[in-house]
Chain A
Amino acid sequence: MEIKKIKEGIFEIQKEKGMNVPVRVYVSDKMLEDLKKDKSLQQGMNATHMPGIQKHFVMLPDTHQGYGFPIGGVAAFDMEKGCISPGGTGYDINCISGDSKVMFEHGYYKNIENLEEEWKKSSLKCINLNKNQENNTNIQRYIKIKPTNKVYKIKTFTGQKIIATADHPIWTPSGMILTKDLDKQSYLATYPFEGVKHEKCAKKIILKEEDILNLDLPIKKELHIKELKKRGLINLKRTSDKIPYLIKIISYNMGDGSLYLCNKRPHVAFWGRKEDLELIRKDVKKLGYNPDIVRSRNRNNKIKTKRGYAEFNTVEYSFRVNAKSFGTLLYALGTPLGKKVAQSYEIPEWIRNGPLWHKRLFLSCLFGAEMNIPNTLTNHGYNYYMPCLSLNKDKANIDGGKNFLLQIKEMLSEFDIESKLSDEKEDYVTKNEDVNYRFKLFINGKIQNLLNLYKKVNFEYNIEKRMVANIAINYLLLKHELIEERDEAQVLAKLMYINGRGPTQICQELNYYNINKRYVERSIYENRETSPRVANNFPTFEQFKEGATKSLGNSGMVWDKIKSIEEIKYDDYVYDFTVKNKHHNFIANNLVVSNCGVRLLTTNLEKEEVTKKIKELLEALFEHVPCGVGSESKLRLTDEQMNEVLNTGVSWCVKNNYASKIDANHCEEEGHMKTANASKISQKAKSRGRKQLGTLGAGNHFLEVQYVDKIYNKEVAKKFGITEEGQVTLMIHCGSRGLGHQVCSDFLRRVEKEFPDLVAKLPERELAYAPANSDTAKDYLGAMSSAANFAWANRQVIQYHCQEAFKEVFKKNNDLKLIYDVAHNIVKIEDHEIDGKMKKVYVHRKGATRSFGPGHKEICKDYRDVGQPVILPGSMGTSSYILVGSEEAMKETFGSTAHGAGRVMSRHEALKTFKSEDVKKDLAEHNIMVKSASMKGISEEAPGVYKNVDEVVKVSDEVGIGKLVARVRPIGVIKG
Chain B
Amino acid sequence: MSFEYLPHTADKKIHAKGNNLAEAFGEGALAVYNTIVKIKEIKPTKEKTIKVKSESKEALLYDFIDELLYIIDTEKFIGSKVKEVKLENNKITITFKGDDYTNYDHLGDVKAMTYSEMEIKEKEIIFVVDV
Contacts and interface: CB of A to CB of B under 8 A. Distances in A.
B3 interface: no
A197 B36 CA distance: 34
A661 interface: no
A687 B70 CA distance: 8
Given A584-B115, A907-B12, A593 B109 contact: no
Contact of A687 (B36, B62, B74, B118): B74
B116 A67 contact: yes
* Residue from B62, B107, B111, B122 with most neighbouring chain A CB atoms (10 Å): B111
* Residue from B10, B12, B70, B117 with most neighbouring chain A CB atoms (10 Å): B10
Given A414-B122, A586-B115, A906-B7, A698 B109 contact: yes
Contact of B111 (A356, A594, A766, A903): A594
Given A629-B108, A684-B70, A906 B10 contact: yes
A749 interface: yes
B23 to A, nearest CB: 14
Nearest to A905: B9
A937 B8 contact: no
Contacts of A976: 109
Interface string A902-926: 0111111100000000000000000
Contact of A936 (B62, B108, B115): B108
Interface string B61-86: 01100100110111010000000000
A334 interface: no
Contacts of A908: 5, 7-8
B7 A741 contact: no
B112 interface: yes
Nearest to B9: A906
Interface in A682-697: 684, 687-688, 691-692, 697
B93 interface: no
A65 interface: yes
B42 to A, nearest CB: 14
Contacts of B56: 584
B70 A934 contact: no
B101 interface: yes
A744 interface: yes
B112 A593 contact: yes
A interface, how many residues as a size bin?
35 or more
Nearest to A765: B115
Contacts of A687: 70, 73-74
B105 interface: yes
* Residue from B8, B73, B113 with most neighbouring chain A CB atoms (10 Å): B73
Contacts of A137: none
A749 B74 contact: no
A752 B56 CA distance: 11
A566 to B, nearest CB: 25
B117 A630 contact: no
A386 B130 CA distance: 46
A38 to B, nearest CB: 8
B118 A584 contact: yes
Contacts of B115: 584-589, 748, 765-766
B41 interface: no
A589 B112 contact: yes
A699 B70 contact: no
A948 B87 CA distance: 47
B58 interface: yes
Given A742-B70, A905-B9, A588 B114 contact: yes
A4 interface: no
A141 interface: no
Given A584-B56, A749-B59, A903 B10 contact: yes
A147 to B, nearest CB: 24
B117 A585 contact: yes
B58 A583 contact: yes
Interface in B88-131: 101-102, 105-109, 111-119, 121-122, 128, 130-131
Contact of A582 (B76, B114, B119): B119
B131 to A, nearest CB: 6
A741 B111 contact: yes
B109 A629 contact: yes
Contacts of A933: 106
B108 A934 contact: yes
Contacts of B74: 687-688, 691
Nearest to A594: B111
A684 B69 CA distance: 11
A745 B8 CA distance: 21
Interface in A922-971: 933-934, 936-937, 940
A585 B9 contact: no
Contacts of B10: 903, 906-907
Contacts of A909: 7
* Residue from B7, B63, B66 with most neighbouring chain A CB atoms (10 Å): B66
A585 B111 CA distance: 19
Interface string A587-621: 11100011000000000000000000000000000
A932 to B, nearest CB: 11
A257 interface: no
Nearest to B107: A936
A197 B11 CA distance: 29
A204 interface: no
Contacts of A744: 112
A470 B121 CA distance: 24
Contacts of B5: 908
A628 interface: yes
A907 B63 CA distance: 25
Contacts of B116: 67, 585-587, 589
Contact of B108 (A416, A698, A738): A698
A699 B108 contact: yes
B105 A745 contact: no
Contacts of A907: 8, 10-12, 131
Contacts of A697: 109
A194 to B, nearest CB: 14
Interface in A740-786: 741-742, 744-745, 748-749, 752-753, 765-766
A584 B58 contact: yes
A65 B9 contact: yes
Contacts of B119: 582
A655 B88 CA distance: 51
B118 A585 contact: yes
25 contacts: A67-B114, A197-B121, A584-B59, A584-B118, A585-B117, A586-B115, A586-B116, A587-B114, A593-B111, A593-B112, A593-B130, A629-B36, A629-B101, A629-B106, A630-B72, A687-B73, A688-B70, A691-B74, A697-B109, A698-B108, A699-B111, A738-B69, A738-B111, A745-B62, A934-B105
Interface of B: 5, 7-12, 36, 55-56, 58-59, 62-63, 66, 69-70, 72-74, 76, 101-102, 105-109, 111-119, 121-122, 128, 130-131
Given A197-B121, A630-B72, A741-B69, 4 more contacts: A584-B58, A589-B115, A628-B109, A741-B112
Among all A-B residue pairs, the 5 with the closest Cβ atoms: A586-B115, A698-B109, A584-B58, A741-B112, A589-B114
